[in-house]
Chains A and B, each alone.
Chain A
Amino acid sequence: MDWKTEVRQIVADRPVIRDLSAADLADIVEEWTQHAHAAWSAARADGLTEADATAHVRSQIDAWSMNLADAPRRRKKVLAVEPPPAATRGASGLWQDARYGWRLLRKQPGFTLVAVLTTALAIGATTTLFSVADGVLARPLPFPDADRLIRVSETREGATRQLPSLITHVTYQTWRDRPTSIEGIAGFRGHTATMDGDAGSGAERVLGSQVTASLFSVLRSRAEIGSAFTEADEAPGRAGVIVLSHGFWQARFGADPGIVGRSIDMDGASYQIVGVMPAGFGFPSAETRFWMPLNVPPATPPEDGSSRIALFSAIARLRPGFTVTQAAEEATTRAATGPPPAMVDTAVFGSQGPRVVTGVPLIDFVTGEVRPAILMFLAAVGLLFLTAVANISSLQLARSTTRRRELAIRSALGAGTGRLARQLLIESGLLGLAGGAAGLALAVLLHRALPTLLPADFPRVSDVAINLRAIAFAGGISLMAGLLFGILPVVHLRRLRLVDALAEDSQAPVGVSLRTSIGRLRMGMMVGQVAAASLLLVGALLLGRSFSALWNADRGYEPTNLLTVRVAMPEQTFTPATRAEAMRQLLGRTRALPGVVAVGFSTIIPISNVDSLMGFNLPPRGDSPDPINAQAAVRTVSPGFFPALGVMMADGRPYSEADTASAPAVLVVNETFARTYMPGEGIGTRLPLAAGERTESEVVGIIRDVQPATRGEAPRPEVYFATDQQPGLRFSEPVLLVRTTDDPLGLVPVVRQLAQQIDTRIAIDAPMTMEARLATGLARPRLYAMLLTGLSVLALVIAGVGVFGVLSYNVAQRRREIGVRAALGARPGQIVRLTVGQGLLMAAAGLAIGLSAAFWLVRYLDGLLWGVTARDPLSYALVPIVLLGATILACWVPARRAARIDPLTAMRHH
């Protein structure tokens, strides 16, 4: 007799079966099959015939399956977990509570999964941001007594040009000789060297730094092998010495321990290696691969009557007890003892006013630009965290409402309120801890991805670590989350009235929803979540619109299909004449390549970290008898440069091949120059600017302003010289521009090859499309916009799930009420409106709060916005649309469910 088939058939005939899960059904079939076998054998043993025994057993199975309808298995909903006995106390009781809580959570895998995932996301994001803030902003820089390191900058009274943080040799020399407030000052500047690549792969560019010997003492850092160089090595004419970074020493010299004394060829000269710095040392950046002496000229002007300025970056170490302000004042005083500022000061600063020195703590300088963003994101993830906590809190509250009976029974059986509260808190704590553990794992993953996620110039990425502090932080907020999850159910517990709870229907008490304090509390939390989501959305939209404004800004040139290549021809190996000739040949050969539309070069291109400045006097104008101190950025360009960059002429003509040394001296300037220094004049103006023997040139063209960088900086006066009218090319790293019909990156190997054919000592550096340069320059705004968008979408989803949860719950609770309404003739549309109306009410309230909060808080975003104001109407207008869309989505399923409630079923349900 195959009882299994028999059982399955009998069971399958019962309509109630379709409500059972497959697992439950399989369990039942197996259990009954076993029973049937045993009962049949027993019946046979009692003397029944085979047919009688079979009929007897079959009737039993039939009876069970008939009665099954009265006892449907609902394990998914009902918590068949045995509560711990009320009597246990202390640690063992705690353990029991924890085990009970754990089993309860396992019985509801859906809820647990949602809760743990939400918590994990929130805690992971918060912990990652904490570790970034901690590593980048809070931890001291990796040098002894780093809090006394300051960054020094210099400007001129009345300066019209904002330079990056630099000082001049005059300030350096006058202060270094007699320092009171500082222990020492050190100068440094970036230096990219050209050296032969491995195995004859052509010339290679290596990033290093020229530094004064004092840098190592100011930073209190020593060489790992050998020693750093000394002041004596700085003198001009001394044989070159070099200190290597640990990484460069390993990569290039196989970590040779006998490295000191060997030499290395760079820029066509030989440098003796005197030391290797330890692995953690990276100044000014972690990518710095070598250090060579920086020669700072004396403060006294050269005897030939010329005036010059050496510009470089500088740091100083404060003496204990002195402040940054005192140091800056001292430096300003000392600098005033130097020779008076001259025309060259106008060129650089736009003013010949007295020298003014300022200082900021080095860590603030390094992290200053990212600080507002990090703090903003810390606030954003904090908000996300609260949203997630509110959501799970609300779910827990809902669960505790349905658990009223369980809690009431346990209370009746002698469990005190304290004991039950402890139980609820332990359950919540478990959720918090599970979420925290998963969140920490997420934070570790995110931390690994940080170097790829963050722009290359993001400071101190290597100092960010998931360390004990981050782990303690994650643990702390997990516990806090756990506590917050449980606090509302516990408060609710104190209001639990035993008799009511036991007396009411276990399935669906009538009149929950808005009318109870719990209902109102959950609604309130939903409103808060919607508010948080809309606040984040406003921020995300503002940042997104700002990035879009930056990306799509009219730059005065055409960045697509444009290749830029730095052509490095070092001082030591090239003369201005050979350089000019090499560029002429490179232009000619590149122009002949297929797909090339236009070719040109300039000494300086937009979005560049170098600049070339000029000061000059213009004849007096108007009533004033004094000449006008003029200042402009100066570029030397080939005739093809303007079409290659895609610049529009505002007036006149660009350079042509005819503008040679023998032709009349001509000039192209930009609109800002024309407006500033040629008011009321135009094409044909003669300016006292010319190369070689000549003294003045005629302005033949005015170009439309070209945006100098990426973030909407105002254009400066610019003068463009024609390369063919110059005596050679003095600038050692001109940039080749190639405009193509297609993606220009494919040309890079060809251009490199052409350069090698012309001269093997040419190094092709940083081949990038203009769009890539833009993207690099805009990497931070883009990251900020994307990150905040991600966070706000997350908050929106969490809030949406929350609204969905509250509405679904309300619909379930109001089943009977809705059934009555339907029975009395309410149309489905009216019932849908009832539910959707509730959702929209919550959304509208949250929106009002969120937008008002945003209106007050966005001023903190000001520093991160370009091209849009913090009160951008479109951003504010879009948020309600997005939110209402999300709300309707969240309302849809509960509303449909409500509309489909069949009055008969709903009433019979009780």
Chain B
Amino acid sequence: MVNRVISKELRKGSADLLILALLEDRARHGYEIARLIDERSQGALSYHVASLYPTLYRLEDQGVVEGRWVEKAGQRRRRYYKLTAAGRRVLAKERSIWQSFFVALDRVATLQQG
């Protein structure tokens, strides 16, 4: 029962939080986010990578992240996502709830708190 609740949260809510957390200190592009999730969870959260862009777009629509094409010298134009102020507030608010499934997201969460 508890497992089911947690897995539902994992599927829906925490994917968002994961991404918000990864964007907390700097803007990143989609591949970078995917790589970080994959690396830090060692493939455990591959579902999130599979829904990465749909999630990002939804978050963008909700106004918590903002995507922007950025051109850096010598590189291709890339779309970087950054946390909006609203996103920061959501992240701060949700951190307390987050603690309840901290274990499941151990590696990623540790990375973010460190």
Whether A85 and B85, one on each chain, are in contact in the complex, defined by CB atoms closer than 8 angstroms, is yes
B51 near A63 (CB under 8 angstroms)?
yes
In the bound complex, what is the Cα–Cα distance between A60 and B48 (angstroms)? 11
B26 contacts the other chain (Cβ, under 8 Å)? Answer: no
CB distance from B73 to the nearest CB of A (A): 17
Is A39's CB within 8 Å of the partner chain B? yes
Of the 9-residue stretches A68-76, A113-121, A213-221, A492-500, which lies at the interface with chain B? A68-76
CB distance from B45 to the nearest CB of A (A): 13
Tell me, rounded to whole Å, the shortest Cβ–Cβ distance linking A604 to chain B. Answer: 79
Bitwise, B58-85 to A at CB < 8 A (1) or not (0) is 1011110010010000001111000011
Contacts of B60 in A (CB 8 A): 73, 75, 80
For the complex, is A82 an interface residue (Cβ under 8 Å from B)?
yes
Which B residues are in CB contact (< 8 Å) with A491? Answer: none
Contact yes or no, B55 A71, CB < 8 A: yes
Interface centre among B54, B62, B78 (most CB of A within 10 A): B54
Contact of A73 among B35, B57, B69 (CB under 8 A): B57
Tally of contacts, chain A with chain B, CB under 8 A: 74
B86: CB under 8 A from chain A? yes
Q: Is A80 touching B53 in the complex (CB atoms < 8 A)?
A: no
Tell me if A35 and B61 are in contact (CB < 8 A): no
Interface residues of A in 18-38 (CB under 8 A from B): 27-28, 30-32, 34-35, 38
Q: Name the residue among A39, A63, A71, A83 with the largest chain B CB count within 10 angstroms.
A: A71
Q: Note all chain A residues with C-beta closer than 8 A to B76.
A: 34
B residues within 8 A CB of A322? Answer: none
CA distance A491 to B84 in the complex (A): 29
A261-285 contacts to B (CB < 8 Å): none
The answer to whether the Cβ of A444 comes within 8 Å of any Cβ in the partner chain is no
| A71 in contact with B31 (CB, 8 Å) | no
Interface size class of A (residues with CB under 8 A): 20 to 34
A31 touches B51 (CB 8 A): no
Task: Tell me the bound Cα distance from A70 to B54 in angstroms.
Answer: 7
Q: How far is the CA of A32 from the CA of B55 in the complex (A)?
A: 14
Q: Which residues of A contact B35 (CB under 8 A)?
A: 42
Chain A 76-133 residues near chain B, CB threshold 8 A: 78-85
Indicate which residue in A67, A75, A409 contacts B51 across the interface (CB closer than 8 Å): A67
Q: Decide yes or no whether B34 CB sits under 8 A from chain A.
A: yes
Which residues, 17 to 73 on B, are CB-close (under 8 Å) to A? 29-31, 34-35, 49-55, 57-58, 60-63, 66, 69
The verdict on A714 contacting chain B, using a C-beta distance below 8 Å, is: no
> Are B79 and A79 in contact, with the CB atoms below 8 A?
no
Does B89 sit within 8 A of A, measured CB to CB? yes
Q: Which of B53, B77, B85 sits near A83, CB closer than 8 Å?
A: B85
- Asked if A35 and B50 sit within 8 Å, CB to CB, the answer is no
Between B51, B78, B84, the greatest number of chain A beta carbons within 10 A of the residue's beta carbon is seen for B51
- In the bound complex, CA of A67 to CA of B58 (Å): 11
B residues near A60, Cβ cutoff 8 Å: 49-50
A31 to B57 CA separation, bound complex (whole angstroms): 12
Which of chain A's residues have a CB closer than 8 A to the CB of B58? 70-71
8 A Cβ contacts from A397-452 to B: 406, 409, 413
A31-B30, A34-B78 known; A79 and B53 CB under 8 Å? no
Q: Is the interface of A mostly helix, strand, loop or mixed?
A: helix
Chain A proximity of B58: nearest CB distance (Å): 4
Q: Contacts A34-B76, A82-B84; is A74 near B54 (CB within 8 Å)?
A: no
- Is B79 a contact of A80 with CB atoms below 8 Å? no
Whole-angstrom CA separation of A82 from B76 in the bound complex: 27
Interface secondary structure of B, over-half rule? helix
Q: Given the known inter-chain contacts A75-B61, A80-B63, A80-B66, please indicate yes or no for A67 contacting B34, CB distance below 8 A.
A: no
Instruction: Choose one: A64, A82, A85; the contact of B53 (CB below 8 Å).
Output: A64
Cβ B57 vs Cβ A82 within 8 A: no
Q: Which residues of A contact B69 (CB under 8 A)?
A: 27
| Complex alpha-carbon distance, A553 and B89, angstroms | 76
Contact of A39 among B34, B53, B55, B85 (CB under 8 A): B34
Q: Which residues of B contact A63 (CB under 8 A)?
A: 50-51
Contact between A78 and B89 (Cβ–Cβ < 8 Å)?
no
Contact: B50 with A64, CB < 8 Å? yes
B61 contacts A68, C-beta separation under 8 Å: no
Of B54, B61, B84, the contact of A64 (CB 8 Å cutoff): B54
Q: Across the interface, name the chain B residue whose C-beta is closest to A32.
A: B53
Which residues of A have CB within 8 Å of B61? 71, 73-75, 78, 80
Within the complex, the shortest CB–CB distance from B107 to chain A, in Å, comes to 19
Give chain A nearest CB distance to B95 CB in angstroms.
Answer: 15
Name which residue of chain B comes closest to A33, CB basis.
B76
A35 and B54 CA atoms in complex are apart in Å by: 14
User: In the complex, what distance in Å separates the CA atom of A477 from the CA atom of B95?
Assistant: 49
Pair B63/A78 contact, Cβ less than 8 Å: yes
Cα A79 to Cα B63 in complex, Å, equals 7
Of the candidates B34, B51, B62, B84, the one whose C-beta lies within 8 Å of that of A35 is B34
Q: What is the CA–CA distance of A39 and B32 in the complex, to the nearest angstrom?
A: 10
By a CB distance below 8 angstroms, the chain A residues around B86 are: 82-83, 409, 413
Q: Give CA–CA (A842, B78) in the complex, Å.
A: 52
Known: A74-B61, A78-B61, A80-B61. A413 touches B54 (CB 8 A): no
Question: Which of B30, B49, B55, B86 lies at the interface centre, i.e. has the most chain A CB atoms within 10 A of its CB?
Answer: B86
Residues of B contacting A64 in the complex (Cβ-Cβ under 8 angstroms):
50-54
Complex alpha-carbon distance, A409 and B85, angstroms: 13
Contact B89 A413 (CB under 8 A): yes
Compute how far the CA of A78 lies from the CA of B55 in the bound complex, rounded to whole angstroms.
Answer: 16
Q: How far is the CA of A71 from the CA of B58 in the complex (A)?
A: 5
A71 to B67, CA, bound (A): 15
**Hey, which chain A residues are within 8 Å of B34, CB to CB?**
35, 39
Known: A68-B57, A73-B61. 17 other contacts (CB 8 A): A31-B53, A34-B76, A34-B78, A64-B51, A68-B54, A70-B58, A71-B57, A73-B57, A75-B60, A78-B61, A79-B63, A80-B61, A80-B62, A83-B86, A85-B85, A413-B86, A413-B89
Nearest 7 pairs between A and B by C-beta? A63-B50, A82-B84, A71-B58, A67-B54, A71-B54, A35-B31, A38-B31
14 A-B pairs (CB sep. < 8 Å): A63-B50, A64-B51, A64-B52, A68-B54, A70-B54, A71-B55, A73-B60, A75-B61, A78-B62, A80-B63, A80-B66, A81-B63, A83-B85, A84-B85
